[in-house]
Amino acid sequence: MTVFSPDTREIFNPSFLGQDPSRNNPRSPVCDSSRSRRSFSASCDGTATRESTAAAHVLIFPVLEVPPPSHFSPRLPRFPFDPFTHSMGGLRVGFVGAGMMAEAIAGGLDAAGVAKFADMSASNRTQPRLDVFASWGVTPRASNSEVAQNCDVIFISVKPYTVAQVLEEMRPVLSKDTLVVSVAAGVTIATMEAAAGPGVPVVRVMPNTPCLVGCVAAGMAAGTHCEPSHTETVSKLFNAIGKIHEVKESLLNAVTGVSGSGPAYIFQVIEAMSDGGVLAGLPRNIATDLAAQTVMGAAKMVLETGKHPGVLKDGVTSPGGTTIAAVRVLEENGVRAAFISAVKAAADRGEELSRQ
């Protein structure tokens, strides 16, 4: 991904970080335009292009010419990925619900080049979020049914308790040629298939927000009406922005616990390591950068060497050294047990949501 070329624009909304850019919050990376901002692009291979410019982490995506509505003429669904062009051949992708997860998926797919903003549609119950999507070249639709009528793949990214209602609303225009991909936590395939109608292919996916930087970790389970081409299409979409594993539906709550909720755990780890660095005398910006880079580097070592994390840990802990002294403190404070319990708590909550 190219950063700061003449034909690019910033599309990363500070709201993704849960921050109000109008507030001068000293903890916020977007609070003060006089502070240094780091703009970057990153991918799952760990490479990153960085340049200091303003206050928030922003992503730069290509500026696209927005075609007129007539561009979205009916055509056969494009399943699956075209291996010769490394694109989905003009696959029309829709988002019912234009929240932060939809933003992350849409931005990641466009940046990866497998689905362009110009071929996307979105609906949302509030106009401001639609305006954000429209500013990138995504076509805003007046209703959820309009999204279904103009798209081959539809991402359902609404609150879990509204998923069945939304699918029932779209039911008259859904068919076997429309692939429904739900990213709503806890909503079962059976519930969605009953709401969508007979023969509609449904895939349930548990992604995470790092798809915004091309590094998603996701799990998926296919419904009873899915053909191999449907799961291949979903795999190609998500593997273009990270990794996705197909699992039994009964294991998706465990996926939620590990990777769906996982970024929040790691953000806390980075923040805590940064705090420790500040306590030891480092400037905040250097401490945070070192902590984040360390997490990324450690993850790459696990993925690229294939070694057990414990073996890699032993390679750092020399006898009587600084690292083993730190590891002892982590063990004494129950850090390992806390992470295990956190993953299980998130998985259990996912199970509770699926029964509601």
Q: Are 238 and 216 a contacting pair, CB within 8 Å? A: yes
Residue-by-residue pLDDT tens, the chain, 356 positions: 333 333 333 333 434 334 443 333 333 333 333 333 333 344 444 444 434 333 334 444 443 343 433 333 333 344 544 433 334 557 999 999 999 889 989 988 898 888 999 999 999 999 999 999 999 999 999 999 999 999 999 999 999 889 999 999 999 999 999 999 999 888 899 999 999 999 999 999 999 989 878 899 999 999 999 999 999 999 999 998 899 999 999 999 999 999 999 999 999 999 999 999 999 999 999 999 999 999 999 999 999 999 999 999 999 999 999 999 999 999 999 999 999 999 999 999 988 877 77
| Domain limits, CATH 3.40.50.720, in the chain | 64-251
- What pLDDT sits at residue 66? 38
Superfamily covering domain 64-251: NAD(P)-binding Rossmann-like Domain (3.40.50.720)
Radius of gyration of the chain (CA): 21
Measured CA to CA, the distance from residue 102 to residue 195 in angstroms comes to 21
- What pLDDT sits at residue 186? 82
> What does the H/E/C string look like for 12-72?
CCHHHHCCCCCCCCCCCCCCCCCCCCEEEEECCCCCEEEEECCCCCECEEECCCCCCHHHC
Ramachandran angles phi, psi of 27, nearest 5°: -90, -10
**Which two structure tokens, joined as six digits, stand for 253?**
């709550």
Name residue, tokens 């040629």. 177
- What pLDDT sits at residue 214? 83
- What pLDDT sits at residue 88? 56
Residue 256 CB-density burial (10 A; 0-12 exposed, 13-18 middle, 19+ buried): buried
Measured CA to CA, the distance from residue 57 to residue 292 in angstroms comes to 13
- What pLDDT sits at residue 162? 93
Q: Is 79 strand, coil or helix?
A: coil
Measured CA to CA, the distance from residue 185 to residue 258 in angstroms comes to 13
Report the b/e string of 116-152 with b at 16+ CB within 10 A. bbbbbbbbbeeeebbebbbebbbbbbeebbbbbbbbb
Q: Are 8 and 62 a contacting pair, CB within 8 Å? A: yes
CA distances from 54 to 129, 220, 258 (A): 24, 37, 33
Measured CA to CA, the distance from residue 166 to residue 161 in angstroms comes to 10
Which uninterrupted H or E stretch holds 190?
helix 189-196
Q: How many CB atoms neighbour CB 192 within 10 A?
A: 22
Helix 284-305, helix 262-279: angle, nearest 10: 130
- What pLDDT sits at residue 76? 38
Q: Are strands 60-62 and 48-52 parallel, antiparallel or unpaired?
A: unpaired
